[in-house]
């Protein structure tokens, strides 16, 4: 089914403000999936050593509204937008929120492939290289999709 509204993709990195356990993540994922289905958002959440790396994709203003809630969520701190922009198609179309535990090295690898923004607040959408790395990782490792 073709998308009726322009699609955007957002990639951010943050730190957990308190210990995150599997029970906490299970509850968070259940709520996120329900919200994302209703808001027509899709994506992938990675977690390692109290770090989150998340890709969210979908229409505006749903994407910006969710990201504002994430920025205000006391479970996160040091939230940084790594990439944001208009995309032609979803990378994670079949997942309202795929989840995969990983290690900090993989998160650092992803962060290291993203170019530094040309100016404060200006970023490009996630590159095809980043999208392919994350999609392959999700396909290979996301036990809970």
Domain boundaries, the chain: 7-141
CATH for 7-141 (1.10.10.10, 3.50.50.60, 3.30.70.100, 1.10.510.10): 3.30.70.100
| Residues 14 and 76: beta-carbon distance below 8 Å | yes
pLDDT at 123: 75
- 60, 129, 102, 100: CA torsion to nearest 10: 50
pLDDT at 117: 63
Q: How far apart are CA 140 and CA 46, in angstroms?
A: 13
Both ends of the chain: CA-CA distance in Å?
A: 21
- Predicted confidence (pLDDT) per residue in 82-106, tens digit: 999 899 999 999 999 999 889 999 9
| Residues 30 and 68: beta-carbon distance below 8 Å | no
Judged against a pLDDT cut of 60, whether residue 1 lies above it is answered with no
- Predicted confidence (pLDDT) per residue in 112-136, tens digit: 888 766 555 557 778 888 888 888 8
Q: How far apart are CA 141 and CA 82, in angstroms?
A: 22
pTM for the structure as a whole: 0.86
């Amino acid at each position: 089914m073709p998308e009726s509204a322009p699609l955007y993709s957002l990639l951010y990195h943050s730190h957990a403000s308190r210990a995150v356990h599997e029970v906490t993540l299970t509850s968070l994922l259940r709520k996120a999936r329900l919200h994302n289905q209703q808001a027509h958002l899709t994506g992938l959440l990675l977690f390692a050593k109290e770090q989150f790396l998340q890709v969210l994709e979908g229409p505006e203003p749903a994407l910006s509204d969710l990201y504002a809630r994430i920025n205000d969520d006391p479970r996160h701190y040091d939230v940084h937008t790594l990439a944001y922009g208009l995309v032609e198609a979803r990378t994670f179309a079949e997942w309202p929120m795929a989840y995969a535990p990983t290690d900090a090295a993989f998160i650092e690898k992803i962060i290291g492939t993203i170019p530094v923004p040309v100016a404060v607040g200006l970023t490009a959408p996630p590159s095809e290289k980043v999208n392919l790395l994350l999609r392959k990782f999700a396909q290979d490792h996301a036990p809970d999709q």
